[in-house]
Amino acid sequence: RRRARARSGARPCGLRELEVSVSELGLGYTSDETVLFRYCAGACEAAVRIYDLGLRRLRQRRRVRKERVRAHPCCRPTAYEDEVSFLDVHSRYHTLQELSARECACV
Amino acid sequence: ASIFSGTGADPVVSAKSNHCLDAAKACNLNDNCKKLRSSYISICNREISSTERCNRRKCHKALRQFFDRVPSEYTYRMLFCSCQDQACAERRRQTILPSCSYEDKEKPNCLDLRTLCRIDHLCRSRLADFHANCRASYRTLTSCPADNYQACLGSYAGMIGFDMTPNYVDSSPTGIVVSPWCNCRGSGNQEEECEKFLRDFTENPCLRNAIQAFGNGTDVNMSPKG
Q: Helix, strand, coil proportions of chain B in percent (round to 5)? A: 55, 5, 40
Q: Are B208 and B176 in contact (CB under 8 A)?
A: yes
Interchain CB contact of B37 with A (< 8 Å): yes
Strand spans (E) along chain B: 166-168, 178-180
pLDDT band at A7 (very low <50, low <70, confident <90, very high): low
- Chain B residue numbers with beta carbons less than 8 Å from the beta carbon of A85 are 37-38, 41-42, 45
The pTM of the whole model exceeds 0.90: no
> What is the amino acid identity at position A28?
G
A71, pLDDT greater than 60: yes
What pLDDT was estimated at residue B219? Answer: 62
For A12, the enclosing helix (H) or strand (E) is none
A19 touching B (Cβ < 8 Å) = yes
Reply yes or no on whether the pLDDT at A4 is more than 60: no
| Per-residue pLDDT in tens (0 to 9) along chain B, 226 residues | 444 444 444 444 444 679 999 999 999 999 999 999 999 999 999 998 888 889 999 999 999 999 999 999 999 999 999 999 999 999 999 999 999 999 999 999 999 999 999 999 999 999 999 999 999 988 888 999 999 999 999 999 999 999 999 999 999 998 999 999 999 999 999 999 999 999 999 999 999 999 999 988 766 544 443 3
**Using an 8 Å Cβ cutoff, are B29 and A19 in contact?**
yes
Q: Residue A89: its chain B contacts at CB < 8 A? A: 87
Q: Centre a 10 Å sphere on the Cβ of residue A63 and count the other Cβ atoms it contains.
A: 9
